[in-house]
Amino acid sequence: VQLQASGGGSVQTGGSLRLSCAVSGLPLDDYSISWFRQAPGKEREGVSCIRGDDDSIYYADPVKGRFTLSRDNANRMVHLQMNNLKPEDTAVYYCAAGFGAQVFCQSLQLGGWDHWGQGTLVTVSS
């Protein structure tokens, strides 16, 4: 199993980035895929998640209306489109996969995920 996150970079306030998580070695229909982030000096927090069973998508309040999560089953990718970025979005972003994990997905809780990718750094300057 491998989750490979990519797409991070440096942008100015109001800019956009698209993060991608390439997933291999597990059936996407059986796994929820989530994005978390960890800012310097802060705890890791949930950003968004898509359920494997019914494609329900959940967002943390700080990113609602600005971030959009999507899944490309054919290419086994999960994308996080981030628009109108703010300095407070600066963090290392991680993708994670959990078998089933419907409850974890909806609540964006940190624990319970089976596999994690390496992080990709997003820096938003004012």
Tens of pLDDT, residue by residue over 94-123, are: 999 999 888 899 999 999 899 999 999 999
Q: Which pLDDT score is estimated for 46?
A: 98
pLDDT value, residue 101: 86
User: Confidence class of residue 76 from pLDDT cuts 50, 70 and 90?
Assistant: very high
Strand partners, 36: 46, 94
DSSP structure string for 7-66: --EEEETT--EEEEEEEESS-GGGEEEEEEEE-TTS--EEEEEE-TTT--EEE-GGGTTT
Share of the chain above pLDDT 70, in %: 100
